[in-house]
Chains A and B, each alone.
Chain A
Amino acid sequence: QVQLKESGPGLVQPSQTLSLTCTVSGFSLTSYNVHWVRQPPGKGLEWMGVIWSGGNTDYNSALKPRLSISRDTSKSQVFLTMNSLQTEDTGIYYCNRNQNWGQGVMVTVSS
């Protein structure tokens, strides 16, 4: 069945770079788009970006200067990289494909 699972460091220092991995199973990344969505504690959902099945990417314009999404189709993995992290980047980060979501990974930005 379709599964997505996020992984990455739980704690990142301010001004540093966040690297997250979304490992998928049950489908091919060349056939489906994968999105990243985040949620600060107690707040709403924010769409971050997408890697389309063809490999192109689109980003939330507010995050575009410091966000990058890529993939390794052979490993069924999608990567999120975001630099210059600040405390307001703290939250749960999800990857998703259509109605399927990962469990989310909590990222805390703190020194």
Chain B
Amino acid sequence: DIQMTQSPPSLSASLGDKVTITCQASQNINKYIAWYQQKPGKAPRQLIRYTSTLVSGTPSRFSGSGSGRDYSFSISNVESEDIASYYCLQYDNLFTFGSGTKLEIK
């Protein structure tokens, strides 16, 4: 099974900051990584697929990059509506979620 190590577990940012979350896979996942946002009491929402492709409706302040085992997800100009938990998901070999990152506003 592929393991996904996501960090940090939590982030505290000011409005307008840029934040970055990373996921490292236990093996090469060939860019097959997606990123999800989950707000309290809601189902997850996919923001990015295949490392860097924004899903329809995802604001351009969200971005993703990476290759091989190492991937990152960034939010530039953090807004109050970005308060949520974020998860990576590898789908190169079955599916594995990262452990999540909770974003809070300072």
Contact = CB atoms under 8 A, between A and B. Distances in A.
A45 B94 CA distance: 15
Interface residues of A, number: 18
B100 A103 contact: no
Interface in A71-110: 94, 96, 98-99, 101-104
Contacts of A94: 43-44
B46 A45 contact: no
A61 interface: yes
Interface in B89-106: 89, 94-100
Given A50-B95, A61-B1, A44 B100 contact: yes
B38 interface: yes
Interface string B31-52: 0000010100001111000000
Contacts of A37: 44, 97
A99 B55 contact: yes
B87 interface: yes
Contact of B44 (A50, A60, A101): A101
Given A35-B95, A58-B94, A99-B55, A47 B43 contact: no
Given A35-B95, A60-B1, 13 more contacts: A44-B85, A44-B98, A45-B38, A45-B87, A47-B89, A58-B94, A61-B1, A94-B44, A96-B43, A99-B46, A101-B45, A102-B43, A103-B43
27 contacts: A35-B95, A37-B44, A44-B85, A44-B97, A44-B98, A44-B99, A45-B36, A45-B38, A45-B44, A45-B87, A45-B89, A45-B97, A45-B100, A46-B97, A47-B89, A47-B94, A47-B97, A50-B95, A60-B94, A61-B1, A94-B43, A98-B46, A101-B43, A101-B44, A102-B43, A103-B43, A104-B43
